Structure 1
Amino acid sequence: MAAQPGGRRGPARGPSKGAAGGQARGQVRRSWLGGVRDAIDGLVRSSPARFAILVFATLVLITTALLSLPLARAGAGTGGTPLYDAFFTAVSTICVTGLTTVDMATHWSPFGNTIIFIGMNVGGMGVLTLASILGLVISRRLGLRAKLMAASDTNPSRVHAGPVSERQAVRLGEVGGLLVTVAVSTLSIEAVIMLGMVPSVMAKGHDFGLSLWYSAYYAVSAFTNTGFNPNPLGPAEFFDDYWFQSLMMLAVFLGSLGFPVIFALLRTWRSPRRWSVHVKLTLTTTIVLWIAGAMTFLVLEYNNPKTYGSFGFVKTFYEAFFMSTMTRSGGFSTIDMADLYGSSLLVTDMLMFVGGGSASTAGGIKVTTLAVLFLAAYAEARGAPAMEAFGRRIPRDILRLAVSVVLWGATIVAVSTVIIAQITKSALDFVLFDVISAFATCGLSTGLTESLPPEGKYVMAATMFMGRVGTVTLAAALAAAQKRQLFRRPEERPIVG
């Protein structure tokens, strides 16, 4: 049977002009999205750490732009916030530091407070975890690269030297669960803390709406270890409210543990024997430092008339534990830090420099870093061939990483201290205190930060950024890719000590 003209051969012809145009537009659209995805994948493949820093820096710039708007500042006709103050607040917010150069309770409008409220939660997720979530949203899947990047937030050695064979707090196959835990645990803990705070705030005479806002703000600020205050009087308004202060301490403590520890505790809280070495080291070191810090403050400040000297024993005992909790990165204070004795300032410097747990909302060199250094010293004193903890051997490359973290952190603090001291000509103990607080993203201040000139604020903002991003991540981003060395040089031992 003869084929009709334009019969079966018709469908084989090219598509109509409209259809061709639609396909071309779709192809262009797919190509544009594909180009963006390929560019991001290329950056992640070449350096996950640089990609994470780029994401964090972008968030800081966006927050700075929003806080610079006149809409973000309270009071009609006051104009926008100066760039250096907006930039400093943006860095302090995204880095969950808590240092301020303006009055957080009165300077910002509802729009500005909303930006800061969201920024604290976003910054609290962590640099690499946040970058992984953004990569998941863009690619709609969590690939191996994204899993490696998220896992590196729970273990910096993965950024430094790739995947390692030792037992980790979170394995690659569990990264998806970790990201869910980050979101669920953050919202759940903050919601519970907020609900518990509402009655205390209302008892101070605030209406329900304002009490709800203050409670939500304090809950987020405490869990993310930021330390911003929404009310003019700050935590001092609740100085006699043990319930409110205890909730703040609980939120700060949970936030400083780290999401890998929370993830492990949620799964195996009934079986401590199944906890990894990371979980055990984090919990043990955190509790030891918490108790030791409180006892130290109790001994050093019990007779200081400007701080604890006028309190009874019970109040002094409680406030010592409150101070020990907040110096670990919480940033809240019921007393003036400038009134502390010099010895107490030095103890606070040490506690702030250590900070909290890895992949937590706290800053500092992290408690596991300190634990590894002590284990190395203990092993050397015993003449043991390797570091051991809880029946497990800790490899020597972890010690090298711990030493690198401490040296990088000390270098950043030293350089920033010299620059700030030269700019302000202020007392060294006050300068060192605020610089360590910035590096450790703690937020406590002697009052020096508020009086800094614009150039000093930029230096302090850079210190906060480097402290929050993490010394290991920063070093990995700046260093070139590691090269394989197929030979070993002759060994020679220098004299040490």
Structure 2
Amino acid sequence: MPLTFLALIIIGTVLLLLPFARSGEGSAGFMPAFFTSASAVTVTGLATVDTGTYWSPAGQGIMLALVEIGGLGIIALATVLGLFIGGRLGLRTRLVAQADMHVVSLGEVRPLFRRVAVTMVFFQSVTALVLTIRYRAHYFDDLPTALWHGVFDSVMAFNNAGFSLNRDSLTGYAGDGLIIIPICVAVFVGAIGFPVLAELFQEWRTPDRWTIHTRLTVWGSIGLLLVGAIAFLALEWNNADTLGGLSFGHKIVSGIEGGIMPRSGGLNSFDWGSVRPETLNIGVVMMFIGGGSASTAGGIKITTFLLLAYVILAELRGDPDVTIGNRSIGSVVIRSAITIALLAVMLVSATTLLVMLMTDVSFDAALFECTSAFATVGLSTGITPDLPADAQVVLIGLMFLGRVGTITAASAFVLRRRVPRYHLPEEQPIIG
């Protein structure tokens, strides 16, 4: 998978370097094309140039295609196409798809991918229709422009990519619930994860029959939304640079956005460079946690975060096993969660230090930018375009690892289990 994503980034870079992809005369520079391609394939949304003016409609179309392919995943896309074209899946393909999409049994692969395709088309189409109507009625004079903005924003929202055709993202629509809320819904659904959506499609009326994974993802996502929105509103309510000048209703809409977008959406109707330091810190935490497994979201994933919380709770209680509901969690899963979380902490910490050494940006700004890149969020305090080329390469590496690294690591942990033939004598080092 990493090589496939890398190949797609290279192909996207080459396409964006062609003269027709650049708005105006001449072709794009290598770094803008390379950075944009990597950000699109990894469905991040960080940008070093203005998407609406630097790239031509053809270039924007290339970006949109890269985001669609990257969001669904190379293996998932190939499997879905194979389903509709050939109608059959080979055993090897199903095994690979099972590892990539975190499906429990082989029998779930075929119906899962059908629902993936249908769900993706449905939510993007509905979101695009709602946005196009609103854009045409209040923001654009002609239907083609409104339609292109509606389609572009719906694709970016569902795939949790932060690209926008506007220089200031969604700032021009701040507080407009008929635009912000549909985009937030698309981001939330895209970040839930395809296996969860597939289960909800069948069992949405019976939550007591949901799997542990679905329960953790759904209730955890709703909980983080509420906590994030309340914290954002409390901290930014009187901030003149963000929510201070908005009406009550517009503040509530922006608060909902503030609880959803840091999880992985990346689109914003206010300047994250102007928020309070406390809000910036909460944003870093939300980005690091991310969305659901096998989704378009990044981060360590909500299930990993909540599982570690249950591990801590079991340790504090002195329980020998980690239990969630009426199920116990195996040691292999726990070790995988701990490994992914610690690797993510080390990676973000190291790259934050590296960016600070390469530039003169503050710790808060560097941490926010690196976390956004690793978690494939796309939010920025505005420093990305001004970073030197070497620091931008660091962010490209983070986006790549954030998109394919955790999936590859998780799959490797699951597929490479070894049953030892013997056990060494135990010893207990002093902890704490």
The SS at the match of 2:328 is strand
**Structure 1 residues 379 and 119, CA gap change in structure 2 (3 angstroms):** same
Give me the whole-angstrom Cα distance separating, in 2, the residues matched to 1:480 and 1:356. 23
Deviations 1:379-407 (A, max 9, x none): 11222221222322211221111101101
Kept after mapping to 1: 8 A contact 2:359/2:387: yes
One-letter amino acid matched to 2:240: P
Task: Spell out, residue by residue over 1:358-378, the C-alpha distance to the aligned partner (whole angstroms, 9 max, x if none).
Answer: 000110000000110011111
Pick one of 229, 236, 244 that aligns with 2:179.
Answer: 244
Tell me the distance in 2 between the aligned counterparts of 1:455 and 1:396.
40
2:317 maps to 1:382: yes
Out of 51, 61, 64, the residue aligned to residue 10 of structure 2 is: 61
Could you give the per-residue CA deviations for residues 215-274 of structure 1, whole angstroms, max 9, x where no partner exists? 000000000000111234431222242111110110000000000111111122222222
1:82 is aligned to 2:53: no
Deviation (angstroms), 1:143: 2.2
One-letter code aligned to 1:427:
S
Cα distance between partner residues in 2 of 1:121 and 1:453: 29
User: Conserved in 1, the CA contact under 8 Å of 2:174 and 2:250?
Assistant: no
Match of 1:21 in 2: none
Q: Residues 282, 133 of structure 1: CA spacing in aligned structure 2 closer, same or farther, 3 A cutoff?
A: same
Shift of 1:129: 2.5
1:293-308 aligned within 5 A: 293-308=228-243
Task: State the SS of the aligned residue for 1:234.
Answer: coil
The answer to whether structure 1 residue 424 and structure 2 residue 359 are counterparts is yes
Kindly report which structure 2 residues correspond to 1:172-187, keeping only aligned pairs within 5 A, or say none. 172-187=106-121
What is the Cα deviation at residue 128 of structure 1? 4.5
2:60 corresponds in structure 1 to: 113
SS at structure 2 position matched to 1:106: helix
Q: Using the TM superposition, name which of 123-132 and 260-269 deviates more.
A: 123-132
Distance 1:279 1:250, change over 3 A: same
Tell me the distance in 1 between the aligned counterparts of 2:399 and 2:97: 22
Mapping of 1:162-241 within 5 angstroms?
170-202=104-136, 203-241=138-176
Are positions 1:398 and 2:345 aligned together?
no
Distance change >3 Å, CA 480–CA 179, structure 1 → 2: closer
Q: CA deviation at 1:137?
A: 9.4
Residue aligned with 2:323, SS: strand
Conservation of the 8 A alpha-carbon contact between 2:98 and 2:105: yes
| Structure 1 residues 474 and 134, CA gap change in structure 2 (3 angstroms) | farther
**Is residue 2:261 matched to residue 1:261?**
no
The answer as to whether partners of 1:71 and 1:80 remain within 8 angstroms in 2 is: yes
Q: Deviations over 1:47-72 (max 9, x none)?
A: xxxxx111111111111110111111
**Are residue 277 (structure 1) and residue 212 (structure 2) matched?**
yes
Asked if structure 1 preserves the Cα contact closer than 8 Å seen for 2:175 and 2:254, the reply is: no
Structure 1 residues 132 and 446: CA distance shift in structure 2, 3 A: same
1:123 and 2:77 equivalent?
Answer: no
Q: Does 1:99 align with 2:56?
A: no
Tell me: CA distance 1:139–1:348, structure 2 relative to 1, closer, same or farther (3 Å): same
Q: What secondary structure does 1:364 align onto?
A: coil
1:344, distance to aligned residue in structure 2 (A): 0.8
Q: Give the Cα separation in 1 of the matches to 2:245 and 2:172.
A: 18
Contact 1:128 1:152 in 2 (8 A): no
- Aligned-pair distance for 1:83? 1.2
Question: Could you say which residue in structure 2 is the equivalent of 1:44?
Answer: none
Distance in 2 of aligned mates of 1:276 and 1:373: 18
Which residue number in structure 1 is paired with residue 22 of structure 2? 73
Shift of 1:191: 0.3
What is the identity, as a one-letter code, of the residue corresponding to 1:227? Answer: G
Q: Match of 2:17, as an amino acid? A: S
Give TM-score, length-normalised by structure 1: 0.82
How far did residue 419 of structure 1 move? Answer: 1.4
Task: Look up the match of 1:330.
Answer: 265
Q: Which amino acid aligns with 2:56?
A: S
Q: Assess if the C-alpha contact under 8 Å between 1:133 and 1:179 holds in 2.
A: yes
Give the match for residue 433 of structure 1. Answer: 368
Q: Trace 1:24-35 onto structure 2 (pairs within 5 A).
A: none
Identity over the aligned pairs, expressed in percent? 39
Structure-2 residue corresponding to 1:292 = 227
What is the Cα-based RMSD across aligned positions, in Å?
Answer: 2.2
* Aligned-partner residue type, residue 119 of structure 2: S
Paired amino acid for 2:319: A
- Report the residue type matching 1:344 in the other structure: T
The answer to whether the 8 A contact 1:201-1:215 is kept is: yes
Separation (CA, whole Å) in 2 of partners of 1:264 and 1:349: 30
The whole-number CA distance in structure 2 between the counterparts of 1:477 and 1:454 is 32
The verdict on how the C-alpha distance between 1:393 and 1:194 changes in structure 2, with shifts beyond 3 A counting, is: same
| Secondary structure of 1:470's aligned partner | helix
Of stretches 125-134 and 476-485 in structure 1, the one that deviates more from structure 2 is 476-485
The structure having more radius of gyration, on CA atoms, is: 1
Amino acid at match of 2:108: E
Give the unaligned 5+ runs of structure 2.
Answer: none
Distance 1:89 1:224 in 2: 16
**Structure 1 unaligned blocks of 5 or more:** 1-51, 156-168
2:80/2:117 contact within 8 Å kept: no
CA contact (8 A) 1:328 1:356 kept: yes
Q: Quick one: structure 1 residues 256 and 85, their matched pair in 2 at CA, closer, same or farther if it must change by over 3 Å? A: same
SS of the residue 2:45 aligns to: coil
- Does structure 1 retain, via aligned residues, the 8 Å contact 2:310–2:323? yes
Paired residues in the alignment total: 431
